[in-house]
Structure 1
Amino acid sequence: MSYGRGGYRRRHRDDYDDRRRESYETPEQKLRTAIIKLGEVDAVEELPRLQKQIQEHVPLNVANISEAFRIAVTEQPYKIPYYAALIRLLHEPSEAAQDSHGPSIGRLVLEDFWKGFQAYLDKLAWRETRLCIQLFAHLTVAHIVSPDSMLSLLQSFTAVLDEFGVSHGRAKRAALCAAEGLMISGPSLKPHSGTGVTDVINAIQAFNDTATTSKWLVRPMIRVYSEAVTIENGDELLDTVLYALKTLNDSDFSQTTDSFPQPYTNLPELDISTISHFDLPSVLVPPEVIELEGLSTETEEEAQVKKEEWPEYYLRLFDNEISPDPNTPAGYAVRTALLDTIAIFEVNRKECARLLLEYPKWNLPGAFKPKPGAPSDVEPAPGKDWQLESTLIETILGALLILPESSHKSIYYMSLITELCKLSPSTVGPAVGKSIRKLYSFLSEGLDVEGARRFAEWFAVHMSNFGFQWVWKEWVPDLALAVQHPRRTFIRRAVELEIRLSYHDRILKTLPEPMQSPDALTISEQAPGPDFEYDDPTNPHHDAAQSVLNLLRGRAKAEDVISHLDTLKTTLETSEEGHLNVDAIVRSIAVQSLLHIGSRSFSHLLNAIERYLPLLRNIASDGATGAGLNLEARAGILTAAASFWKNNRQMVGIVFDKLMQYQIVDPSDVVGWTFVNGSGIGQPRELVGPLSLNAFEWDLMRGALDKANGRVMIAKRKVAALRKEEDDTRAQAKARANEDTMEVDADTKQEEAPVDNPAMTTAIKALNSLTREQKAALSRTLEGFVSCLAASATDLNPNPHSRMVITEQAWHDRANWGNDEWNAWETWGWYRQFCRAYSPYLRTYATTLYTVSFARFEGSTDPAAELLKKIWNVAIGQDTS
């Protein structure tokens, strides 16, 4: 074989050069990698080697070393104590430093590290800032950072808590920075200034006391809806940090060594005569950026949502012997480290799962039980010896179930649990099973309806990843409960979601016989699919529907179809059925026929809707040209679509979304339709409650509200972009004019007349229109809940069940509740979720919405009306109780 003209040698030489280029690292890169990868085998043994490698590296590149520390500290928080130990070792003068009498490498690195910390603070990168403070706190205990400067740093963050009108999100993050820094550095700060330590704790406590009412609205487990609300199995973030801080303070921070690894305490003492403390410079926490009208609307919208952040409650699943109690210093340290790892590695769930399972090696010895079969020379630590897998699952599920919404997408937490199961199925699997059973038991104990909805989604997704294997027979006795009991509601919801992820017959076979029975109301009798009611030849309108279908299948022009429908109306009006609602019949035939030709796939659906948009708009306006859309006609379109897909409720949501996307219906139409007609879609009559709301209907409503809010956000961004473009153009024109008339006296210049901008005018009109649409959707949702849950003075026939307030006594008697009581309980839950999830938008229109929905209850003593207003006031920040 010949390659000709040295082709073989040239090709392989090029390949060799490519491999050299790919694998080559500069000495600085190798050193940085070594710092970041500290502890891959044994961190304690690697510290002296890495210290020597850094000190002997020539030439010394402090910026490179400091950058490696910043990356490691902010992306591997579980290693922070060991990086503090490394900096402590680097403070020992090297021979070169001794000869030159210059500062140690550790001091140089710390000075440069501080610049990075200041950059994080200026950008209000709260997590990175908090993790850097943890490093400074460890260095304080290691006698590198001076206690006085560390205390001043913590007080800079508690000063945020006294700011006028400080948002909960900003105050919470500042409080955590101060609290966690004090937890770690307390052994050095308490002897230095006991008063200063007490002041930090009192400042956090004072702010936490102001958030009592907002905590009431986001508790994961609600016992009763009366004033005597109690909570179980939930831990609020600032509450836990205060419990832990006070415990440490009461023991003069002697428990810190049992809570946080301190590898630097085992190092030889530094010579104080040759080493001076590093004084942290004073800082001022920058204020929140308040965007004014005309500036970046995207930042404005994000800032608006951030201002309304809620307290964080984490659901507890296990006893303190199984997972650490976050109200203790050690438990808080474990949960915080795990949550930080989960947040940082969102971009790589597989790496996150691996690191979580390796977490015990970064914690104190004896904190967690050893893996089954693994030898262990370490005695269990007193009060610890926790189960790692149960702790991990409890932490992940606690983050998933935070109300009103989790920090990351739900699918991330679900996928992370799946990866943990794949890495260690024999240990993580049982922990997942215990968690499912525990959450299931909470369903009848007051688990919030939004938490129950996410639980059902996670359960279905997890089952789909592992062959839908679950011991359903454990829950067969619960079939004797009321049909609308939360446990039975969960089973139906979970089975429905499983069918979406698989197919009907397969899921049916996984259920025990009692659940397969139609009388059990657990699984639908038919597989999800369309239900074209005019397909039956015995239907009196079968022939009319077939004529419309033939036109649509033949891809007739929209105008021809509209003309045919008009003819059809005339025919029906003159027939013996003229007494019927002809418009409703023709509308239903047209919509169901259109959906029928689009029922084969999503692409068929979109093609059908896009081809016949003029037809749908004509139906929505009820044929009234230029007269706007008809409310009855739009509701009829939604009813026809829901009836067609009643056996596949997922498709109901999809079709509704497309109808809103193409502006056939408005979000307020979907909201209004859901309150009036949603209960009967795809459910047996036994499940339909009077004026009640369930998870499926909430999904429809949430989709409509998100659509309205999203449109306003996009319109604001467009206006802001056009305004910025207009300002830039005007500034450039003014600059050019100044250059051309430099010699002309400034007083003789005339201001240029503003130039009309058609694009800006159009964008502002669109924004105003979409804002009215958003307001209408929010108003209609609030009015719908009020009508369901409270009776006004003019309501002659109030429903006693849907408008009931669950008192403490009634809650204790819930074993005797029927469907009406559970329907009322769930509807109250969705009202709470609406208020807390959309509070940033509700505050914008608070005065108008209150007047429209609550003014008629002024002077009323109806307990339901009072509770409605209390929840509303807490959500918009006006509760004074």
Structure 2
Amino acid sequence: MDPTRSNGDQAMQVDQFGRAVRRPGHGHRNKPYDRPGNRPGGGYRGGRGGGRYNNSRPTAQDLHRVEVEELEKRLTSLIIKIGDKLGSGLAFNLEALAGVLVKDYDAHSTVVLRAFQGVVTELPMKTETYATLVGLLNVRQPAIARAVVDMAWEQLVGCAREYRRWKVVKLWLRFFALLVPVRAITAATFVELLGEFTNAVLRDDPELQDPKRADALLYTVAITLPYVGRELQVQTPAEFEALLGNLHAYARRPNSRPRPEILTAFPGLPDNFTSTVQAQLPAPYYQYQTNPFGYVMDRLAQLAARQWETPLVHRTYLGFSEALQAAEPIDIPLAALSLPAPSNPYILAAAPEEADAETAEVPLTTNPGETLSAQIQPLQAALRAGYASKSRYGHVIPTPWVPVVADPDPERLVEHFLVYDLILDITDIFHVNRRDAATFLVNLPGYLPESIWCRPATATETTTDGQDDPMAETTPAKVGETAPPLAVDQMVVGALFSRLFELPTPPHKAVYYAALAIELCKLSGDRMLPGIAATVTRLFRTLPCAVPWTHLTPETAVADDDAGSTPAALELVARDPTASVAWDAECVHRLADWFAMYLSNCGYTWKWTEWAPVLTSCQPASPALVFTREVLYKCIRLSYFDRVKITVPDDLQSVVLPPVSLEPQFRYRNAAGEPAVDADGNPLLPEPVREFAAELINHLQRKESVESLQAFIEAAYGTTLAGIPVAELRPIATAAAGVYAQSAAAALGQPGHQPALEDLATEANALPRVVRDVFVQTILYLGSKSFSHMLNVIERYLPLLQRFSTDSAAKLHIVEIVNEFWVYNPQFVTIIIDKLLNYRVVDPTAVIAWALNPLRLTFEYPAPFYVWEILRNTVHKIESRIVQIERRLTNQRALLGSNNGGGGGTESIIHTVDPSLAETIARLEATLSGLRLEQKELLLSLFQSFVALLSQLLRECSANGVDPTTYAPYLWIEGRYREFIRTYHGGVKRLATTLETIVFTNDLNPQIINVFREALSL
């Protein structure tokens, strides 16, 4: 082969294979997949994908854009990171950052303003640092400070007036409060601003007010005063005293609508707590739980007695006192606020768009299309459908903390509450990123002055020259007089559980609080693991078990002492372990789910041996035993049976674990083999039923058509199954109901008496129930390999399943069969019933009848938690469908109005637009009307069943002379009744007249009616 080839006037060197030989300096080292010809888009230097010559080279515009973006990221990062550490270097860093902002603000004003917007609302532990920065900017470049203050004012007004995001309003008010000491705004202006909030409440008739909104307005004012009280007392004493007087007057108002008992998040209080403990021991938790606003005002009075001195405010601005004196305060257009009165009909109406407004951000007028850097997570208020009155205020008033650690020292109550409020803010703000939330919580002591963890200095402690030194650290008192310091780790754990137990619903999904606890342990296991373990133990010890805790080992006692001394609220429990403690049933359920998720990330290991003596001695329905059983069942769902079993002591396994693995209980497993017999040698299945089951299994395994199976089943009625005595059919026809009635005992492998079920299998329905049992169990067995198998077989024979569920009794029977088949695997029961609801094989009424059947009262074990999960999912499914249809209907109506130009009546619109759009709206309206009717029937059926069960239990207690408050079956059912009526109190209010006429009649026991009345007040 010629080593050279001609190509016009040029010669190209080739090797012996005809490949071009690259000349020195013209080769490339790219990988084959990275060569120019293999670029995305194809072609050499762009090739088939198009593009210009050397299109990979950035242009000058590209370079400039990248440079600007990098600069903006650096600016945002500098603003975010300032104040991460307190110390002598903070003042220098603030001056340096102020210089950078003065230099670059004009070119990047929108980025700077959005950064300030983000840090104030999402980094509340550094608000004082950012206020000081604004003060320095007001000295160097007043225009920048004015722009920041104008932005903050725009956000405050928007949140307060238009969106009513009160928690964000609280954060902006704190920012404005800390602008007073740096002379960015005057004290008189700020007092007048706070007066707008108080006047919106006090100028209105108390009888017409919405108490929740009034509390939210005034709480935002009260919780702001500790950060600025010292300045207001000196600069505007008269106005400040008048403001405090208004707040105290509101706190002293007669509480015409007390806190409903059904919202007691963490009971944990003995029945006689008020009379025996409150008078003897300080009980801040109890005081705050009963009157939150009154408790806050007591703390303000305590702070006023200290001349508004608190170590929580580190007063960094004092290092710039001379420079700040030259600043000119910024005016605020207070007239733009004009808050509506709490009795405003629009405020009370809970408009449908209110939930969307709660989560919306107030746009900046500078550039509404620009977004904040990804380094700042957006603040999103957590809402739940049906809780408009609660969510409307963004959970601004903190949940009562869980009293599982010692009550704070009386001198620490102010700082304790402010730090607790700060912890809740961080937990809520960063719910979108649990790792960031855990990081900020673990590092929280670094954002606060060290003196916050020491006893505040007395008024007589001064500097060596006799002058007060405001920048010096507060001096601890003598060792013998030192008050216990605040333990931030314990406060974080207490705040986490307080949110978990918030009723009627936590601000965020329950899984977030388990994930947050896990992240806290990962970041600081030496600090958080002992505290969480001790807290769980304390909570478990408050669960009624009627067994003294005398088995605690010395090691356990030491660990318990390390977690803090017994709080006052649990003092009686410590003295008398058998003291009656009122636990809410839903809170026990939440704690069990949380603990199981927590254990799933800790290797499922726990010191069960310490709990074993109590659990093995508990009554079957005691909350302590029920809680432990449900924790392990949830662990099995998160893992597998054998993995969890090896972590449980042998003597405890028979008490809290199922006796076998989670295999399905298929009654006709051996239908084609030798007949199954009982202990006495009698066949468990009549021979005709066994033959029918064997033939049906063969037909289904061959995947025969629905028509073929239908013909086979109809023929079997007259051939194989004809003439079977009812007495032989009754055990099979009622087997599913029998397991249903004692499902808790079956799950534990405990023997129990069989309730009377003869009425379920009569001459007319015994054989149809048996055929239904055989068919449904076989369908479940063929799909038992996996969820995908289950869905496939259900969809394949869906028409037959629907024919087997023609009436309410048949639908209830199908639910019972599913529960019996997967009695050891609640996860499958939950998922399959949910799918059958979607396929309309069963309906919500059947699920209610299954969950609240009176047969459940014939056994001593309470219903497993998965029963209530299924019931709650069933009720919620209809609510979610209503919300979806309403949203679609709103969108279609908006489209209809836009097509008509927004004018004319409804009839003219329908005649001038596409008829298909009008048909869609009419169809959606009909669907919505049907769903609302279905929801009405569902709620009526739900509460009728609850009332029937509770009335029956109360009659039994009265006949037997038993106190219902000590009778476990009544307590569990009554607790679930409280759960559902407060969860769906929105629907209860809408149907109040109907419910009062049909369900909650005057002849009912007052204990039942009182809960209904409390739900109407939510």
TM over 0.5: yes
With over 3 angstroms needed to count, the CA separation of the structure-2 counterparts of 1:25 and 1:696, relative to structure 1, is: closer
1:246 has 2:298 as partner: yes
1:123-142 equivalent positions in 2, closer than 5 A: 123-142=163-182
Inter-partner Cα distance in structure 2 for 1:868 and 1:166: 28
Aligned-partner residue type, residue 487 of structure 1: A
Map 1:556-571 onto structure 2 (within 5 A): 556-571=704-719
Q: Does 1:496 align with 2:605?
A: no
2:997 to 843, 848, 851: 851
C-alpha distance in structure 1 between counterparts of 2:982 and 2:605, whole Å: 36
Query: What TM-score do the two structures reach when normalised by structure 1?
Result: 0.83
Instruction: Quote the Cα distance in structure 2 between the aligned partners of 1:193 and 1:601.
Output: 71
**Counterparts in 2 of 1:450 and 1:415: CA distance versus 1, 3 Å:** same
Alpha-carbon distance, 1:754 to partner: 11
Note the alpha carbon deviations across 1:44-76, whole angstroms, 9 max, x for none: 442122223233447476554333221111111
For residue 364 of structure 1, report the CA deviation from its aligned partner. Answer: 2.3
| Inter-partner Cα distance in structure 1 for 2:948 and 2:871 | 16
Deviation at 1:732? Answer: 7.5
Structure 2 residue identity aligned to 1:115: E
The answer to whether 1:590 aligns with 2:775 is: yes
Matches within 5 A, 1:32-111: 32-42=76-86, 43-57=90-104, 59=106, 63-92=110-139, 94=140, 103=142, 105-111=144-150
* 2:184 aligned residue: 144
Q: CA deviation at 1:604?
A: 0.9
CA distance in 2, matches of 1:38, 1:258: 20
Change (3 A) 1:15 1:523: farther
Counterpart position of 2:576: none
The change in CA–CA distance for 1:585 and 1:791 in structure 2 (over 3 A counts) is: closer
Deviation at 1:428, TM superposition (A): 1.2
Distance 1:128 1:667, change over 3 A: same
1:718 alignment partner, one of 859, 880, 888? 888
C-alpha distance in 1, partners of 2:782/2:949? Answer: 37
Deviates more, 1:589-598 or 1:668-677: 668-677
Contact 1:620 1:637 in 2 (8 A): yes
- Give 1:204 deviation, angstroms: 4.9
Residues in 2 aligned to 1:510 and 1:578: alpha-carbon distance in whole angstroms: 47
2:310 is paired with a residue whose SS is helix
Between 409-418 and 534-543, the greater mean CA deviation after superposition:
534-543
Query: 1:259 is paired with a residue of what secondary structure?
Result: coil
Indicate how the Cα distance of structure 1 residues 806 and 219 shifts in structure 2: closer, same or farther if over 3 A, else same: farther
The one of 197, 214, 221 equivalent to 2:243 is 197
Matching residue of 1:761: 922
Please tell me whether the aligned partners of residues 261 and 1014 of structure 2 are also in contact (alpha carbons under 8 angstroms): no
Equivalents in 1 of 2:303, 2:538: separation in Å?
35
Task: Please give the residue correspondences for 1:782-801 in structure 2 after superposition, counting only pairs within 5 Å.
Answer: 782-791=943-952, 798=956, 800=958
1:827 correspondence with 2:967:
no
The share of aligned pairs that are identical, in percent, is 24
- State yes or no: 1:867 paired with 2:1007: yes
Relative to structure 1, the CA distance from residue 15 to residue 727 in structure 2 (aligned partners, 3 Å threshold; closer, same or farther) is: closer
Structure-1 separation of matches of 2:136 and 2:934: 63
Q: Aligned pair in 2 of structure 1 residues 184, 439: CA closer, same or farther (>3 Å)? A: same
Cα offset, 1:578, TM superposition: 5.3
- Amino acid in the other structure paired with 1:649: P
**Number of aligned positions between the proteins:** 813
Instruction: Give the CA deviation at 1:142.
Output: 3.6
- Indicate the residue corresponding to 2:543 in structure 1: 443
The CA deviation at 1:831 is 1.3
Relative distance call for 1:293 and 1:335 in structure 2 (3 A) is closer
Alignment match, 1:815: none
Change (3 A) 1:340 1:213: closer
Q: What is residue 634 of structure 1 aligned with on the other side?
A: 811
Corresponding residue number in structure 1 for 2:784: 599
The CA deviation string for residues 768-803 of structure 1, in whole angstroms up to 9 with x for no partner, is 2221221122111111111111259xx9x7465999
Aligned residue in 2 for 1:816: none
Deviation at 1:560, TM superposition (A): 2.1
Whether 1:187 aligns to 2:230 is yes
CA displacement at 1:497 relative to structure 2: 1.0
Whichever residue aligns with residue 588 of structure 2, its letter is: A
8 Å Cα contact 1:527-1:647 kept in structure 2: yes
Distance 2:716 2:272 in 1: 56
Identify the range of structure 1 (488-497 vs 704-713) with the bigger mean alpha-carbon deviation.
Answer: 704-713
Choose the corresponding residue for 1:118, options 150, 157, 163. Answer: 157
- The equivalences for 1:551-700 within 5 A come to 551-571=699-719, 574-577=722-725, 580=729, 581-621=766-806, 630-676=807-853, 679=856, 687-688=860-861, 693=863, 695-700=865-870
Stretch deviating more after TM superposition (506-515 or 562-571): 562-571
1:533 aligns with one of 667, 671, 674: 667
Residue of structure 1 in register with 2:499 after alignment: 399
What secondary structure sits across from 1:510 in the alignment? Answer: coil
| 1:849/1:353 CA distance change after superposition, 3 Å | same
Q: How far apart are 1:338 and its partner, in Å? A: 1.1
Distance in 2 of aligned mates of 1:608 and 1:325: 65
Say which is worse superposed, 263-272 or 580-589, in terms of deviation: 263-272
Separation in structure 2 between the aligned mates of residue 44 and residue 803 of structure 1, nearest angstrom:
73
TM-aligned CA deviation for residue 611 of structure 1: 1.6
Residue 877 (structure 1) aligned with residue 1017 (structure 2):
yes
- Does the CA contact (< 8 Å) of 2:805 and 2:814 recur in 1? yes
Query: CA 1:59–1:496 in structure 2 vs 1: closer, same or farther (change >3 Å)?
Result: closer
Shift of 1:243: 2.3
Number of the residue aligned with 1:427: 527
CA 1:166/1:618 → structure 2, altered by over 3 Å: closer, same or farther? farther
- Seen in structure 2, the aligned counterparts of structure 1 residues 777 and 2 have a Cα distance that, compared at 3 Å, is farther
Greater Rg by CA: 2
Using the alignment, how far apart are the partners of 1:297 and 1:670 within structure 2?
A: 32
1:498 Cα deviation after fit: 1.1
Q: Distance in 1 between matches of 2:93 and 2:590?
A: 44
Correspondence for 1:776 among 929, 937, 958: 937
Query: Which stretch shifts more, 564-573 or 768-777?
Result: 564-573
Q: Read off the aligned partner of 2:700 and give its amino acid letter.
A: L
Q: CA deviation at 1:177?
A: 1.8
- The code of the aligned residue for 1:189 comes to L
3-state secondary structure, aligned to 2:504: coil
User: Where do 1:447-466 residues align within 5 Å?
Assistant: 447-466=583-602
How far did residue 180 of structure 1 move?
A: 1.7
Equivalent in the alignment of 1:840:
986
The 5 Å alignment of 1:358-397 reads 358-368=443-453, 383=483, 385-397=485-497
Instruction: Please give the alpha-carbon distance, in whole angstroms, between the structure 1 residues aligned to 2:385 and 2:533.
Output: 40
Distance 1:866 1:877 in 2: 16
Return 236-245 or 583-592, whichever deviates more. Answer: 236-245
More divergent stretch after superposition (70-79 vs 231-240): 231-240
Q: Are 1:351 and 2:441 counterparts? A: no
Give the Cα–Cα distance (whole angstroms) in 1 for the partners of residues 643 and 910 of structure 2.
Answer: 79
- The one of 233, 237, 259 equivalent to 2:312 is 259
The CA deviation at 1:573 is: 5.6
**3-state SS of paired residue (2:814):** helix
Indicate if the aligned counterparts of 2:105 and 2:144 stay in contact, CA closer than 8 A.
no
Aligned residue in 2 for 1:314: 400
The residue that corresponds to 1:744 in the other structure is none
Counterpart of 1:30 in structure 2 is 74
Matched residues in 2 for 1:293 and 1:38: separation? 40
Query: Is 1:285 paired with 2:339?
Result: yes
How far 1:586 sits from its partner (Å)?
0.6
Give the CA deviation at 1:80. Answer: 0.2
Opposite residue 339 of structure 1, the aligned amino acid is L
CA distance in 2, matches of 1:113, 1:589: 69
Identify if the C-alpha distance between structure 1 residues 249 and 390 changes in structure 2 by more than 3 Å, giving closer, same or farther: closer
Q: 1:662 to 1:576 in 2, by over 3 A?
A: closer
* 1:817 alignment counterpart: none
Shift, 1:154, TM fit = 1.9
Are 2:505 and 2:983, in contact at CA under 8 Å, matched by a contact in 1? Answer: yes
CA deviation after TM superposition for structure 1 residue 153, in Å:
2.0
Aligned-partner Cα distance in 2 for 1:527–1:324: 51
* Structure 2 unaligned regions, length at least 5: 1-20, 37-53, 358-382, 455-472, 545-580, 677-684, 730-765
Stretches of structure 1 lacking an aligned partner (at least 5 in a row): 98-102, 370-376, 622-629, 739-748, 811-820
Asked if 2 retains the 8 angstrom alpha-carbon contact of 1:241 and 1:327, the reply is no
